[in-house]
Amino acid sequence: MLNLVAINAAYIVAAGLFIFGLKMLGHPESARRGNFLSAIGMLIAIVVTLLSQGILTWYWIAICAVIGSVIGASAARLVAMTSMPEMVAVFNGFGGAASLLVAWAALFDAHGLFVAITVTLSVIIGGVTFAGSVIAWGKLSGVMTSRAIVFNGQRVVNSLLLLALLACAVLFCLEPSAQSPYLYGVIGLALVLGIFVVIPIGGADMPVVISLLNSYSGLAACAAGFAINNIILIVAGSLVGAAGIILTNIMCKAMNRSLGNVLFSGFGAVKTATKVEGEVKPISAGDAYLILEAANSVTFVPGYGMAVAQAQHVVCELGELLEAHGSEVSYAIHPVAGRMPGHMNVLLAEANVSYDQLVEMDDINPRLPSIDVAVVIGANDVVNPSARDDEGSPIYGMPIINVDEAKTVFVLKRSMASGFAGVDNPLFMGPNTRMLFGDAKASISEIISEFKP
C-alpha cells in the first residue's frame, strides 16, 4: 500500500515522461522512443494507482482490463493504415466515454457544488465527444453517408438542445446527487448534442472534426481530474487538449476557414464560381511513361483518392523506378489531404517512402516552377487554382499546392466528376495538364510495366 505522497510523486514522474514523450515526437528519428517513454509513464501511473489504498478489490479491474486490452491490441494490429482516421475517431470516443463514466461514479464518493460543477463539465464534454466520435466514425468508415446532413431549422434545434442541456446542468448542480433525474438529462442531451453537432459536417472537413474531438477527449479527462481531485488526469488531459486545439487550428488555416465556419455551415453553395471552360487533354499510360522517363524532377501530390484506390504501394514503386532512372522524386503533401492530419504521410511511410522525401506545401510551392512533372493522384480541391484566382469560388483563399506551375501536370482521375466541394477545377483544362483517366492504381501499374521491358 502506497501513501498519498508516494502516489503523487509517481504521478509527477509519469507526467514528466508524457512531456518528454511528446517532445521526442517532434522528430521522426526519436518519435518511436518518445511514444515508448509515454507508455512507460502510463504504466507507472496505472501501477501506483493499483497499489493505492483506494483500491479494495481487483476483481472487476482484472476482468475489464483484460477485455479492454484484447480489444485494443487486436484493433491496433489489424487496422489498415487507410482506416486510421476511423480508428482515431472511435478511440477519441472511448476516451470521452471513460471520462463520462468516471465523473459519474465520482458522485457516489464526493459531494458539494465544486464537485457537481466539474462532474457536469466532464459528463457534457465526455458525452459530446463520445456521440460525436461515433458519428465521425460512421461517416469515415462509410457506415453512413459522408455528406453533410443539413435540414431546415438546424440551428434552432441545436440552440434549443444546448439551452435544455444548460438548464439540466444548472438544476443538477443546485441539488447534486448520483441519481438525480437532471443528471440523466445532462447525459442524454450531451449525447444527442454530440450527434447533432457532427452530422452537418461533410467528409472533407473531417480532419478538423477529428482534431477537435481529440482535443475534447483530453479536456474531458481534465475535467474528470478536477472532479476526482487527481493531478495526473489534469496534466495529461490538458496536454492532449492543447495538442488537439493546435491541430484543429492548423487544419482550419489550411482550408482558410474559421472553426465556426466548419462547424456551423455545411459547405456553402452561396457563391457561384466562374464556370470553367476549356478542353480536357487525355493521355495514355504509354505517353505518360515517355514524359516521366525524360523528366529530371517529379513530384507526386496525393489526396484521399490515393487511399481509396489503395495506390500508395504502386506510387512508391514508381517513385523508386524514377529515382533509379536519375530523376529527383518528392511527395508534396497538403495539410488537409486525406481525412485526418498527416494521413497521407502515414500511407506513404507504410509503402516505404522515406520521410525526407515528404515535403510540406510551403516548401514545395517555391520549387514547383522548376519541376518537370507533377503527378496528382486522387487530389482535387487542394490543387484547384480557383482557390487562388477566382474570387467567386467557394474555396477562394484556401492555400493550395500550385501544381499548375509545374512544366507538366498529370492528373490521375476516374472520370470528370468534380471534387468534394463540388467545385469545377480549371487545372484539368490547363495548357500543361494531361488527364490520365482510370483507376489510379491500375494507371500507375501500367506506367510501371512500361519501365520494365
Report in angstroms how near the CB of residue 213 gets to another protein at its nearest. 10
Closest C-alpha to 213, from 99, 90, 76, 339: 90
In the complex, least distance from residue 78 CB atom to another protein, rounded to whole angstroms: 10
**CA pair distance 63, 212, nearest whole angstrom:** 32
Q: Is 63 in the site for another protein (CB under 8 A)?
A: yes
55 binds another protein (CB under 8 A): yes
Q: Which is nearer to another protein, 79 or 171 (CB)?
A: 79
Pairing of strands 373-377, 328-333: unpaired
Q: Which stretch binds another protein (CB under 8 A): 83-91, 276-284, 289-297, 442-450?
A: 83-91
- To another protein, the closest distance from the beta carbon of 152 in angstroms equals 35
Helix or strand or coil: residue 302? strand
Among 127, 132, 194, 218, binds another protein (CB under 8 A): 218
- The answer to the question of residue 356 lying near another protein (CB under 8 A) is yes
**8 A C-beta contact, residue 215 and residue 234:** no
Residue 31 as a binder of another protein (CB under 8 A): the answer is: yes
Should residue 13 be labelled a site residue for another protein when binding is judged by CB under 8 A? no
Contact residue for another protein among 137, 172, 196, 226 (CB under 8 A):
226
**Is 4 a residue that touches another protein (CB under 8 A)?**
no
37 counts as binding another protein under rule CB under 8 A: no
- Could you say whether residue 329 binds another protein (CB under 8 A)? no
Under the binding rule (CB under 8 A), the answer on residue 222 touching another protein is yes
Task: Choose which of 346, 407, 446, 450 interacts with another protein (CB under 8 A).
Answer: 346
By CB under 8 A, is residue 327 in contact with another protein?
no
Q: Choose, by CB under 8 A, the member of 135, 209, 224, 436 that binds another protein.
A: 224
| Interacting positions 382-411 with another protein (CB under 8 A) | none
Nearest CA-CA partner of 256 in 198, 202, 334, 343: 334
Cα–Cα dist 75/84, whole Å: 11
Q: Judged by CB under 8 A, does residue 373 bind another protein?
A: no
Strand, coil or helix: what is 360?
Answer: strand
Pick 29 or 279: Cβ nearer another protein = 29
Q: How far apart are CA 305 and CA 240, in angstroms?
A: 30
240 touches another protein by CB under 8 A: yes
Question: Of the candidates 6, 58, 268, 392, which one interacts with another protein according to CB under 8 A?
Answer: 58
C-beta of 221: minimal distance to another protein in Å?
5
In the 8-state DSSP scheme, what is residue 275? P
**What distance in Å separates the CA atoms of residue 386 and residue 409, rounded to the nearest whole number?**
16
> Which stretches does DSSP call E strand in 163-237?
none
Confirm or reject binding of residue 180 to another protein (CB under 8 A): no
Question: Of 82, 86, 106, 404, which one interacts with another protein (CB under 8 A)?
Answer: 106
CB of 391 to another protein, least distance (A): 28
> What DSSP line would sit under 303-358, residue for residue?
-HHHHHHT-HHHHHHHHHHHHHTT-EEEEEE-TTSSSSTTHHHHHHHHTT--GGGE
Is 182 one of the binding residues for another protein (CB under 8 A)?
no
Whether the Cβ atoms of residue 199 and residue 149 lie closer than 8 Å to each other? yes
Give the total of residues touching another protein (CB under 8 A). Answer: 114
Given 231, 285, 429, 448, the residue binding another protein (CB under 8 A): 231
CA 232 from centroid of its chain's CA atoms: 26
* Min CB(326)–another protein separation in Å: 16
**Exposed / middle / buried, residue 185 (Cβ in 10 Å: 0-12, 13-18, 19+):** middle
Per rule CB under 8 A, is residue 77 in the interface with another protein?
yes
Least distance (Å) between residue 32 CB and another protein:
4
Is 381 marked active-site? yes
**Active-site pick, 287, 363, 372, 381:** 381
> Using only C-alpha atoms, what is the Rg of the chain?
25
Contact between 366 and another protein by CB under 8 A: the answer reads no
Beta strand 373-377 pairing with 433-437: unpaired
Is 185:195 a contact under the CB 8 Å cutoff?
Answer: no
Among 112, 153, 326, 431, binds another protein (CB under 8 A): 112
Q: Which of 159, 177, 296, 354 binds another protein (CB under 8 A)?
A: 354
User: Distance (Å, rounded) from C-alpha 385 to C-alpha 94?
Assistant: 40
3-state secondary structure of 279: coil
SS3 label, residue 24: helix
The residues assigned a catalytic role are 381
